[in-house]
């Protein structure tokens, strides 16, 4: 226990280590943030295509999005990352962070699309019919009736997806990127502290803190959105 | 002879291989109150829902004021064809007031102030003005359905379609809803109503239409229809329900 405490002091009093941790943390957050944004935008587009009426020319984009989500969800994230790094973006000097953001963004889009699609489809058909019977346009029905109700269904699952992305970015250490996970391993290695326990627990606490904050925020949003469900 | 407001010609509707409507011809004149009766599964609700294209007809034509209803003009037509649903379908993310004013304001039929004034008047009339800012989840079934009826009335429709408006209600609130429908009828509203409430049908109908297996098999004035049914199928049905 004494040694653990000593290592803890060592970690937090060596500016080099703190620096490494913060750098790693920053990279983790950057990759996660932009990947989640890409996932949300692309995922929303895919979901809208998936839920659109299957008329005429819509079959083509519908087919493409189905192939896309099938491939993304059917293969390991680590392999997708490798393919992005060593096949698609095997370009010397191309910024690694952008490759990572795209890899996680494209991956997250498939899952986000499923979350949004099921959220839209779980809105009662009668709600759409009410709008139709009043002579409202499909766009107005979506914007004023379906979307607000779908968002209520979507937010909790979307929170899970955001958390998953943040934790999953830890595999960028497999392609040599210096994220929070990599920083912990580096600080604990032989030429540095020669003990993994403190840096790794510290990294775990960083991840936990972020996940906890997001969970808290999501709960707050959910509560606010649920005001129309209250029977009072 | 009053104006024909709705004309239906050789209407058919299939769900996959299941033929629900097998060819219906029908006319609705202004001021008529048509009650559609029939056993469950007969296609009477589907028939009603084909008129304002809640269901897309498989074939046949529906005319509103002598204009053929198509995918292009249906949106505009629906502003004049009100509908009240079995499950009320109040919009759950909007308050009662917003449910009433959303369509007339968005479609620019009324200013927001005028719509709210009209909505308040109608809410007061059905004794639910105190629920104006409530969400539908906090209302009883009977309250929801009465609000759904005045929501349809907000649009000043030319005809009002009722799809089993009391089937999802508890016995106590059925009376409230039926008396509101009576009031609407007494304003001279043209009405088509699918219902299982035989006594109500007798009181309100100017004409009764009996649908069985996707066809209209008998129709007539309520006095004759109930007292002297012409077809054995209707006799059998009335014996069971009366």
Q: What is the pLDDT of residues A207-216, one digit of tens each?
A: 999 999 999 9
The answer to whether the Cβ–Cβ distance between A133 and B85 falls below 8 Å is yes
Closest CA to A126 of B201, B121, B88: B88
- Would you write out chain B's pLDDT as a tens digit for each of its 242 residues? 568 999 999 999 999 999 999 999 999 999 999 999 999 889 999 999 999 999 999 999 999 999 999 999 999 999 999 999 999 999 999 999 999 999 999 999 999 999 999 999 999 999 999 999 999 999 999 999 999 999 999 999 999 999 999 999 998 899 999 999 999 999 999 999 999 999 999 999 999 999 999 999 999 999 999 999 999 999 999 998 87
Torsion of CA A193, A194, A198, A202, to 10 degrees: 60
CA–CA min distance B164, chain A (Å): 14
pTM: 0.88
Q: Using a CB-CB distance cutoff of 8 angstroms, which residues of chain A are in contact with residue B75?
A: 135-137
Quick one: tokens of A68?
């896309």
Q: What is the pLDDT of residue A228?
A: 74
Instruction: For domain B4-90+139-241, say whether CATH 3.40.50.300 is its number.
Output: yes
CA B98 to CA B136: how far, in whole Å? 11
The answer to whether the Cβ–Cβ distance between A145 and B135 falls below 8 Å is no
Closest CA to B166 of B191, B150, B183, B149: B149
**DSSP labels for chain B?**
-PPEEEEEEEEEEEETTEEEEEEEEEEEETT-EEEEE--TTSSHHHHHHHHTTSS--SEEEEEETTEE--TTTHHHHHTTEEEE-TT----TTS-HHHHHHHHHHHTTSS-HHHHHHHHHHHHHHTT-GGGTT--GGGS-HHHHHHHHHHHHHTT--SEEEEESTTTTS-HHHHHHHHHHHHHHHHTT-EEEEE-S-HHHHHHH-SEEEEEETTEEEEEE-HHHHHHS-SSHHHHHHHHHH-
The arrangement of secondary structure in A2-226, i.e. its CATH architecture, is: Orthogonal Bundle (1.10)
Q: What is the pLDDT of residue B19?
A: 94
Domain spans of chain A? 2-226
Q: Across the interface, which of A135, A152, A230 has its CB nearest the CB of B79?
A: A135
CA A191 to CA A194: how far, in whole Å? 7
Quick one: tokens of B18?
């299941």
Q: What is the pLDDT of residue A2?
A: 76
B82-to-A90, A230, B24, B29, B187 alpha-carbon distances in Å = 62, 29, 21, 16, 15
Strand B33-37 with B59-64, pairing = unpaired
DSSP letter (8 states) at residue A121: H
CB B222 within 8 A of CB B204: no
Q: Using a CB-CB distance cutoff of 8 angstroms, which residues of chain A are in contact with residue B137?
A: 228-231
| Mean pLDDT computed over every residue of chain A | 93
What A191-196 contacts at long range (C-beta under 8 Å, 24+ apart), as own/partner pairs, is A192/A17, A193/A7, A193/A10, A193/A11, A193/A17, A195/A3, A195/A7
Q: Using a CB-CB distance cutoff of 8 angstroms, which residues of chain A are in contact with residue B106?
A: 136, 140, 144
Interface test with A, best of B76, B93, B98, B153 (most A CBs within 10 A): B93
ipTM: 0.93
- Would you write out chain A's pLDDT as a tens digit for each of its 232 residues? 678 888 888 888 999 999 999 999 999 999 999 999 999 999 999 999 999 888 888 899 999 999 999 999 999 999 999 999 999 999 888 999 999 999 999 999 999 999 999 999 999 999 999 999 999 999 999 999 999 999 999 999 999 999 999 999 999 999 999 999 999 999 999 888 888 999 999 999 999 999 999 999 999 999 988 877 766 5
Distance of CA A26 to the CA centre of its chain: 16
Q: Using a CB-CB distance cutoff of 8 angstroms, which residues of chain A are in contact with residue B103?
A: 131, 134-136
Alpha helices, DSSP H, located in chain A: 2-13, 15-51, 59-74, 77-83, 96-121, 125-133, 138-141, 147-168, 180-188, 197-225
The answer to whether the Cβ–Cβ distance between A230 and B135 falls below 8 Å is yes
Strand B33-37 with B190-194, pairing = parallel
Closest CA to B87 of A131, A146, A126, A231: A126
CA B64 to CA B57: how far, in whole Å? 15
The answer to whether the Cβ–Cβ distance between B93 and A232 falls below 8 Å is no
Domain spans of chain B? 4-90+139-241
Interface test with A, best of B87, B89, B130, B148 (most A CBs within 10 A): B89
């Amino acid at each position: 226990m004494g040694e653990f405490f000593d290592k803890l002091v060592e970690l937090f009093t060596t500016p080099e280590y703190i620096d490494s941790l913060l750098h790693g943390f920053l990279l983790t957050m950057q990759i996660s943030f932009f990947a989640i944004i890409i996932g949300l935008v692309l995922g929303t587009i895919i979901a809208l295509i998936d839920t659109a009426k299957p008329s005429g020319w819509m079959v083509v984009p519908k087919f493409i999005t189905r192939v896309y989500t099938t491939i993304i969800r059917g293969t390991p994230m680590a392999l997708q990352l490798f393919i992005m790094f060593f096949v698609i973006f095997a370009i010397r000097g191309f910024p690694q962070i952008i490759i990572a953001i795209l890899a996680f963004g494209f991956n997250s889009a498939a899952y986000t699309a499923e979350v949004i699609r099921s959220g839209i489809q779980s809105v009662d058909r009668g709600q759409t019919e009410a709008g139709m019977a009043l002579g409202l346009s499909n766009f107005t029905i979506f914007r004023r009736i379906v979307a607000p109700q779908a968002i209520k269904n979507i937010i909790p699952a979307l929170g899970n997806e955001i958390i998953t992305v943040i934790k999953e970015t830890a595999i960028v250490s497999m392609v040599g990127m210096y994220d929070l996970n990599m920083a912990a391993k580096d600080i604990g290695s032989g030429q540095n502290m020669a003990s993994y326990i403190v840096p790794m627990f510290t990294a775990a606490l960083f991840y936990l803190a972020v996940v906890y904050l997001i969970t808290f925020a999501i709960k707050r949003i959910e509560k606010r959105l649920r005001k129309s469900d209250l029977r009072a | 002879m009053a104006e024909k407001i709705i004309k239906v010609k050789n209407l058919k509707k299939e769900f996959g291989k299941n033929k629900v409507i097998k060819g219906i011809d029908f006319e609705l004149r202004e001021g008529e109150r048509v009650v559609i009766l029939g056993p469950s599964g007969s296609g009477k609700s589907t028939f009603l829902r084909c008129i304002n294209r809640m269901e897309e007809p498989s074939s046949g034509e529906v005319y509103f004021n002598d204009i053929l209803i198509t995918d292009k003009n249906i949106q505009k037509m629906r502003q004049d064809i009100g509908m009240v649903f079995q499950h009320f379908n109040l919009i759950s993310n909007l308050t009662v007031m917003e449910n009433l004013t959303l369509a007339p304001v968005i479609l620019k039929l009324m200013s927001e102030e005028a719509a709210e004034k009209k909505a308040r008047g109608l809410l007061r009339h059905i004794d639910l003005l105190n629920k104006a800012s409530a969400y539908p989840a906090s209302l009883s079934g009977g309250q929801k359905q009465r609000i759904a009826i005045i929501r349809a009335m907000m649009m000043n429709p030319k005809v009002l379609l009722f799809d089993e408006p009391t089937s999802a209600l508890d016995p106590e609130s059925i009376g409230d809803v039926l008396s509101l429908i009576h009031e609407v009828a007494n304003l001279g509203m043209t009405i088509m109503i699918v219902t299982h409430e035989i006594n109500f049908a007798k009181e309100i109908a100017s004409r009764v239409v009996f649908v069985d297996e996707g066809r209209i098999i008998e129709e007539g004035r309520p006095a004759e229809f109930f007292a002297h049914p012409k077809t054995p199928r209707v006799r059998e049905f009335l014996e069971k329900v009366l």
